[in-house]
Chain A
Amino acid sequence: MRPILLQGHERSLTQIKYNADGDLIFSCSKDHRINVWYSHNGERLGTYDGHNGTIWTVDVDSESRFLISGSADNMMKLWEVKTGKCLYTWEFPTAIKRVAFSEDDNYIACITEQRMGYQGAIRIFQINRKGDGKDQSKEPNFMFHPIESKATVLAFSATSDQLVTGHESGKLTLYNTKTGEEVVSNKRAHREVVTDIQMSPDRSYFITSSKDKSAKLYDTKTLDELKSYTTETPLNSAAIAPGRPYILLGGGQEAMNVTTTSARQGKFETRFWHKIFEEEVGRVKGHFGPINTIAVHPAGTSYASGGEDGFIRVHHFDESYFRARPYGDMEPEEE
């Protein structure tokens, strides 16, 4: 499993996404850049230029037609994937920390930062997919303000009328996107800030990661905890591997808390855990700083990790990964 190093970012990575076909990887960074790469060989295909601040978040629709990005420059931008052209820009009073497309591509949701004088907000925009994509509405269809603790991450459930948010307090909330009402919430999902949320392929469950050093699997309908994975390091990202019963975790102590030798050796690891048995099954070393974001190919054939070190490492799983049965015939029935 020799990694491909994607070189092109000058500062730490903030989010990585594969497109639905898995042939492209989108990455965003504190260097104000969004890059798109071929996943099979790591060649850079292009950039999306226009933001003027850290780009915190990026997402691509299921047709690989539109890309959405959110930045510390208080702007959210809609891009044409193929040409790299910016189609529309929304401007907000504060930074955009997270964006996500709905499953049907018709909506995007975003979280804006809480700042003096401004409450943190979640806004839902309907995307006009007709024509050239430049005709978008300035105003959101729905907007609401999470109470008690600010939202840090979000993801739509299987339908566009519900979304799950993770909060600074460790809380998870399922919102009705049309009313802003809490459908259900789990106040003790994590003990510290929720750093990532990624849906299973059918969006019936999802994984969260937290600075409390754990990752957990939740039922999207009830927010009941299904599984829990406890590590010894703060986690920044968690992903579900399709096809095999594994989950991938990334994080690590900030450089100042680590001895320089271990940092120099590229010891920051992606951890593989068995999704159902809640046991660690392996680690992949490589990054020179904490891992900020992990994404798995939608067919489960490769994964990409983005680090504080400014590198993206793409690992194509070899045959032994798919063949290995570390627990004999004890395998879940599907995926």
Chain B
Amino acid sequence: EDAAQESNVSAELIQARKRAINEWNAWRARVKSETPAKKKTAKKLEEEKEEAVELIDELIDETVEILD
């Protein structure tokens, strides 16, 4: 009987936790949908540009190797 009661309690607790997770996920989803896409700072944009340039350089290098 004790064991049965215990498992009942834990089943309740598990249900409560599931509810908490679902509520949290729903709230996070709502916050995300309400938040406009983040504006990137000028510095970050610049860095991304630089990264892109480096990537092109690498690709060119590789092409040369293949031709050789």
- Could you tell me the dominant secondary structure of chain B's interface residues? helix
Sort A-B residue pairs by CB-CB distance and give the 10 closest, nearest first. Answer: A204-B31, A333-B25, A276-B24, A276-B20, A332-B24, A330-B21, A330-B17, A277-B17, A277-B20, A334-B28
A232 CB within 8 Å of chain B: no
Q: B27 near A327 (CB under 8 angstroms)? A: no
Q: A104 near B41 (CB under 8 angstroms)? A: yes
The docked-state distance in angstroms from the alpha carbon of A204 to that of B18 is: 23
Q: What's the least CB distance linking B15 to chain A, in Å?
A: 11
Give the residue of A105, A226, A277, A330 whose beta carbon is less than 8 angstroms from that of B27: A226
Q: A331 near B43 (CB under 8 angstroms)? A: no
B63 CB within 8 Å of chain A: no
Q: A62-B41, A202-B35 are in contact. List 16 more A-B contacts (CB 8 A).
A: A63-B43, A104-B41, A158-B35, A202-B31, A204-B31, A204-B35, A205-B31, A226-B27, A276-B20, A276-B21, A277-B20, A330-B17, A331-B21, A332-B25, A332-B28, A333-B29
Please provide the chain A residues from 89 to 140 with a CB less than 8 Å away from any CB of chain B in the complex.
Answer: 104-105
List chain B residues, Cβ under 8 A from A158. 35
- Closest A residue to B23 by beta carbon equals A276
The docked-state distance in angstroms from the alpha carbon of A327 to that of B31 is: 25
The docked-state distance in angstroms from the alpha carbon of A158 to that of B28 is: 15
Q: A332 near B21 (CB under 8 angstroms)? A: yes
- Closest B residue to A204 by beta carbon equals B31
The docked-state distance in angstroms from the alpha carbon of A333 to that of B20 is: 12
The docked-state distance in angstroms from the alpha carbon of A204 to that of B25 is: 14
List chain B residues, Cβ under 8 A from A104. 41
Please provide the chain A residues from 155 to 194 with a CB less than 8 Å away from any CB of chain B in the complex.
Answer: 158
List chain B residues, Cβ under 8 A from A330. 17-18, 21
The docked-state distance in angstroms from the alpha carbon of A76 to that of B66 is: 59
Q: What's the least CB distance linking A11 to chain B, in Å?
A: 37
Q: A327 near B35 (CB under 8 angstroms)? A: no
Q: A327 near B17 (CB under 8 angstroms)? A: yes
List chain A residues, Cβ under 8 A from B18. 330
The docked-state distance in angstroms from the alpha carbon of A332 to that of B24 is: 7
Please provide the chain A residues from 196 to 231 with a CB less than 8 Å away from any CB of chain B in the complex.
Answer: 202, 204-205, 226
The docked-state distance in angstroms from the alpha carbon of A112 to that of B33 is: 37
List chain A residues, Cβ under 8 A from B43. 63
1/0 per residue, CB under 8 A from A, across B40-61: the answer is 0101000000000000000000
The docked-state distance in angstroms from the alpha carbon of A188 to that of B41 is: 37
The contact sample of 13 A-B pairs, CB cut-off 8 A, is: A63-B43, A104-B41, A105-B41, A202-B35, A204-B31, A205-B31, A226-B27, A276-B20, A276-B21, A330-B17, A331-B21, A333-B28, A334-B28
Q: What's the least CB distance linking B10 to chain A, in Å?
A: 12
